[in-house]
């Protein structure tokens, strides 16, 4: 029998809102953008989202905790919009409706990208030991519930594939503590170009470019690649020193700010750091529904003395797959929740823009991107 369990989660400012557990509804585990990161991580949990009502006549009305779903300007940020928020309250994306990317189009292209990921891990390539799950209320306890590593086995032959090798070469190019400026050597800059060159050879990124070109977002592949380089590798300042962070560093490599782990949403990075004894896997609050890779895990861990309260990550995906989906969502739904579909299962990704500095003609950098919901 399907269970429906009411949960109440207080988020920020003491506001409480009721949500219900339903196997058909997406499961939320958001991580906030920079200004809200500490406050939100204290309340961070695997909540569930149910939106039976409509935004008809309610667009951009102020938040009311008594409503089961919402239509205010910040509902995409908190993942509690009504199901028809986009259709009733307007498309995100270009100002012209002919250039707007619809949710149906996002779901269709994400399925194409999912099918195109031939470089992903096969079932026999990874043995995962997820061990003990905890409740959302326990994520702040910082208790190690799992005596064994998360990864029992990974077929490291995967890492010799061109996109994996190029990705791994980038991971040691950063200082993880914010407030320390990043200074790249000529070789490190060349490694960024190599990564972009290799991922653009894949069917995954070819699908993404073809879609965005058709949507009038980019006139040429060169323009697309240049934009990817700026949005992902362009430096900005999260701390006191100029140029101490980038979207790539935050999302894939991970950072430490104010004594906490921020970002760090990549399984390859996790595996390599765990193998070196630098990551200690504590528990998880969510294990996705996929029976093959890629899957999704929302977990708690200690990274060389610093705690991550809830970190969601794809497991077993190729570097180009994650890079493509996060890029797609940042381009189509910057700073919003992006509804996708993978293998018939709904999945949402949240991105945030870095608003304190820009590149080009006012374009914004990626601040962060991560999975916020799925379904079981």
pLDDT, greater one: 108 or 3:
108
Average pLDDT of span 77-84: 73
Task: Tell me the average pLDDT across 81-101.
Answer: 60
Task: Give the integer Cα–Cα distance in Å for 301 and 133.
Answer: 13
- For residue 208, CA distances in Å to 252, 326, 332 come to 20, 11, 12
Kindly name the residue from 27, 120, 250, 284 that is annotated as catalytic: 250
Residues whose CB falls within 8 Å of the CB of residue 16, separated by 6 or more in sequence, listed in order: 8, 9, 10, 65
Residue ranges of E strands in 201-323:
255-257, 260-262, 279-287, 295-303, 306-315
265 belongs to the catalytic site: yes
pLDDT digits (tens, 9 = 90+) for 171-223: 999 989 888 888 899 999 999 999 999 999 999 999 999 999 999 999 999 99
If you write DSSP's letter for every residue of 124-181 in order, what string do you get?
Answer: GGEEE----B--GGGGGG-----SS-SEEEE-GGGGGSHHHHHHHHHHTSS-SBTTS-
How many Cβ atoms from other residues are within 10 Å of residue 284's Cβ? 24
Looking up tokens 């760090």 gives 264
pLDDT in tens, 108-148: 999 999 999 999 999 999 999 999 999 989 999 999 999 99
Out of 120, 265, 284, 364, pick the active-site residue. Answer: 265
Contacts of 125-130 with C-beta under 8 Å, sequence gap 24+, read 125/154, 125/155, 125/158, 125/293, 125/316, 126/151, 126/153, 126/154, 126/155, 126/293, 126/315, 126/316, 127/151, 127/152, 127/153, 127/154, 128/152, 128/297, 128/315, 130/284, 130/287, 130/297
Catalytic residue among 70, 120, 257, 308: 308
Work out the angle between the directed axes of helices 186-200 and 221-233 (0-180°, nearest 10): 130
Digit-coded pLDDT (tens) for 345-361: 999 999 999 988 888 87
Which region holds residue 258: left if phi is over 0, alpha if psi is between -120 and 50, else beta?
A: left
Contact 253, 176 (CB under 8 A): yes
Q: How does residue 37 score in pLDDT terms, banded at 50, 70 and 90? A: very low
- The mean per-residue pLDDT over the stretch 243-251 comes to 92
Please give the mean pLDDT across all residues of the chain: 83
Residue located via tokens 């991970």: 254
In degrees, rounded to 5, the angle at the alpha carbon of residue 159 between the alpha carbons of residues 158 and 163 is 100
Rounded CA separation 61/24 (Å): 27
Phi, psi (deg, nearest 5) at residue 161: -65, 145
Burial 220-240, CB ≥16 within 10 A → b, else e: eeeebbebbbbbbbbbbbbee
Whether the per-residue pLDDT at 23 is higher than 90: the answer is no
| Residue whose C-alpha is closest to residue 224's, from 245, 205, 198 | 205
Residue 96 has pLDDT above 50, yes or no: no
Query: What pLDDT shows up at residue 15?
Result: 28
Lowest-confidence range among 33-47, 168-182, 277-291, 300-314? 33-47
pLDDT at 173 (0 to 100) = 94
Does residue 91 carry a catalytic annotation?
Answer: no
The strand pairing partners of 354, in sequence order, are 365
- Comparison of pLDDT for 355 and 91, the residue scoring more: 355
Q: What is the pTM of this model?
A: 0.78
Mean pLDDT in residue range 78-101: 61
């Amino acid at each position: 029998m399907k269970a429906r369990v009411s949960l109440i989660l207080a988020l920020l400012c003491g506001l409480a809102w009721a949500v219900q557990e339903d196997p058909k509804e997406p499961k939320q585990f958001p991580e906030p953008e920079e200004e809200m990161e500490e406050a939100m991580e204290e309340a961070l949990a695997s909540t569930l989202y149910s939106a039976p009502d409509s935004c008809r006549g309610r667009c951009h009305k102020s938040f009311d905790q008594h409503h089961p779903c919402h239509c205010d300007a910040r509902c995409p940020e908190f993942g509690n919009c009504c199901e028809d928020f986009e259709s009733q309250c307007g498309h995100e994306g270009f100002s012209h409706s002919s250039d707007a990317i619809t949710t149906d189009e996002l779901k269709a292209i994400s399925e194409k990208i999912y099918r195109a990921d031939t470089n992903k891990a096969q079932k026999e390539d990874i043995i995962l030991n997820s061990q003990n799950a905890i409740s959302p209320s326990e994520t702040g306890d910082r208790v190690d519930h799992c005596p064994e590593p998360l990864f029992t086995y990974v077929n490291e032959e995967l890492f010799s594939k061109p996109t994996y090798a190029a990705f791994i070469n980038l991971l040691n190019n950063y200082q993880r503590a914010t407030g320390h400026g990043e200074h790249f050597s000529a070789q490190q800059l060349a490694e960024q170009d190599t990564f972009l060159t290799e991922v653009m050879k894949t069917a995954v990124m070819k699908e993404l470019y073809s879609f965005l070109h058709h949507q009038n977002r980019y006139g040429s592949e060169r323009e697309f690649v240049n934009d990817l380089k700026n949005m992902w590798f362009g430096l900005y300042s999260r701390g006191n020193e100029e140029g101490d962070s980038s979207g790539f560093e935050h999302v894939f490599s991970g950072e430490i700010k104010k004594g906490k782990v921020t970002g760090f949403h990549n399984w390859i990075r996790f595996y390599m750091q765990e193998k070196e004894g630098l990551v200690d896997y504590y528990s998880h609050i969510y294990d996705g529904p996929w029976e093959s890779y890629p899957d999704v895990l929302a977990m708690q861990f200690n990274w060389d003395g610093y705690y991550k309260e809830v970190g969601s990550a794809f497991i077993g995906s190729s570097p180009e797959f994650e890079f493509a989906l996060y890029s797609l969502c940042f381009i189509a739904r910057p700073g919003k929740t992006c509804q996708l579909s993978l293998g018939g299962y709904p999945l949402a990704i949240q991105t945030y823009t870095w608003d304190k500095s820009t590149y080009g003609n006012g374009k914004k950098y990626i601040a962060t991107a991560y999975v916020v919901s799925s379904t079981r």
